[in-house]
Structure 1
């Protein structure tokens, strides 16, 4: 596979699973919280959405994902000593996140942070630091462990023990997903190496990844024009932009919102000959029961689209590390 280090991939993914005992200990101390905040910036903000979605559907206490910089300016009445705030940053140096941690701690909010750098500012700032392998991404396995344990402790998720017994099979299963996605990714990149506009659509716990892939990969890393649209909102204006040659990239998952995306698929395949459907149901997850497949959708989709990213980089001769402005100039 193009630029795929299997050993590194497995090591990074398994580093999240190694946090299980620490996560369980942290969650045990949160029995009295009456609000949960999932806070990030850019990609880590979008990465929180599947877990806001999961919590919101299962718990009666308020759950909010928040943009770090906006939260510091606007505040929130629920940010008190009875709240917990969860952060994530691969580098551990994201300034907006650091400021949000300081803002929360000044209000007595308990803070938890996932990062790959043990001595980073973010790891030092939070009450409880969850340290992965350096550059480990995505954060889904860690966030899934945290949120399902939190729900389990509250009696709102009955499948935790069964889930965590199956999660060790996930890293190897994702390697097989990457292998299966390789020809799909290569074909997409070859077809779209000169395409400069992409529609990206998702729903449910894949809406966050649609937002992330559009903004953080296609725009930031490939300088391509995109529009990102929620599957439920696609038919409220956005559909008018679809033409026969419009690239429409559809993220179809296995959660309860799948019918929303199936409707978009039917429309897009009728009116655009450049529709690409990425469906997590097409990929086997050896060792994982069907009841958990929907929860793992963000991880599966991230693995598939990561292969597309590598092939776009090659086909377009545009490094995924190249930036004009982000962390290059003052802003």
Structure 2
């Protein structure tokens, strides 16, 4: 596979899942100590990746979970953030200014802070009350953060909801690192063709629902816009028919990401409509990929992980097809953020 280190990938994703035990122990201690809610307060894309975990908790446990923008909550505050709050701050580099500041902000409100970082001995890692380190890089961080936040969410749910399949779910998740490599391999040829056919497209509409929506937003914004300077319009599948459909016509590129959770019918509706008005619909469906040993119940929890892992193959080929390295930036060094 193009620019891909299989052993490194497996090591990183296995490392993310290996945090399930330590995170579960900490969650148990905090809940036993009277924790009343959890906040996911990441900056930028790392914060967006926490959305499936926050939604999973809210839909399956009597424990409020809040997904907030780090910069905004520091500007406007929250009456729900304070003593008894668990604050989860993901930061791959461990140096993002807003991540450092929101850790200090949350601690000042009396919250307990948990940092999920890719590098130890960094400002975020040092500032948080509890730090969990799993090395990753841009090409592996999506799956790593998705999996870390998932096992944290499952720990809360098993204590505050009805989740007797906790141990079995973790056992199935442990199969994922190797299975995701095979998933990447199965998508490699399509990724290359897709990169070649879209290398000159300057505008895409990205849509999806449920977990797939998180990955649609993240990939469109953090990969295509930030790393490839390609204009996108991310829109939730349920909102697609409340405005965005009027922008679709022949030649307009629509990317639809489909997952395997209960929101799938929302994506089906877009898939039925889009071909009637555009000749450029790309559907990537997590259900297409074989995951031996993973039950339909667990597949419904990891659609975003599967979609992220195949889209990484697309971006790996796209940077070659467009002669635009994913590391190229114009303005970041000029920003104090």
TM-score (norm 1): 0.97
Report if the CA contact (8 A) 1:59-1:151 is conserved.
yes
What is the 5 A alignment of 1:235-314?
235-314=241-320
Structure 2 counterpart of 1:226: 232
1:11 paired to 2:17: no
Structure 2 counterpart of 1:103: 105
1:329 shift after superposition:
4.1
Q: Equivalents in 2 of 1:223, 1:202: separation in Å?
A: 21
1:118 shift after superposition:
1.1
* Offset from partner CA, 1:73-99 (integer Å, 9 cap, x none): 111001111111111111001111111
Q: Equivalents in 1 of 2:279, 2:182: separation in Å?
A: 29
1:187 paired to 2:193: yes
1:155 shift after superposition:
3.5
1:328 shift after superposition:
4.0
Report if the CA contact (8 A) 2:62-2:160 is conserved.
no
1:65 paired to 2:71: no
- Farther off after superposition, 285-294 or 255-264: 285-294
Aligned residues: 331
Q: CA RMSD in A?
A: 1.2
Report if the CA contact (8 A) 1:11-1:133 is conserved.
no
Q: Could you tell me which runs of 5 or more consecutive residues in structure 2 were left unpaired when the two chains were aligned.
A: none
Query: Structure 1 residues 111, 329: closer, same or farther in 2, change over 3 A?
Result: closer
1:62 shift after superposition:
2.0
TM-score (norm 2): 0.96
Q: Equivalents in 2 of 1:156, 1:88: separation in Å?
A: 27
Q: Could you tell me which runs of 5 or more consecutive residues in structure 1 were left unpaired when the two chains were aligned.
A: none
Q: Equivalents in 2 of 1:186, 1:22: separation in Å?
A: 39
Q: Equivalents in 1 of 2:201, 2:177: separation in Å?
A: 32
* Offset from partner CA, 1:12-66 (integer Å, 9 cap, x none): 1011122122111111112122211111111112101111111111122321101
What is the 5 A alignment of 1:47-126?
47-126=49-128
Q: Equivalents in 2 of 1:316, 1:50: separation in Å?
A: 31
Structure 2 counterpart of 1:30: 30
Q: Equivalents in 2 of 1:235, 1:204: separation in Å?
A: 16
Query: Structure 1 residues 225, 134: closer, same or farther in 2, change over 3 A?
Result: closer
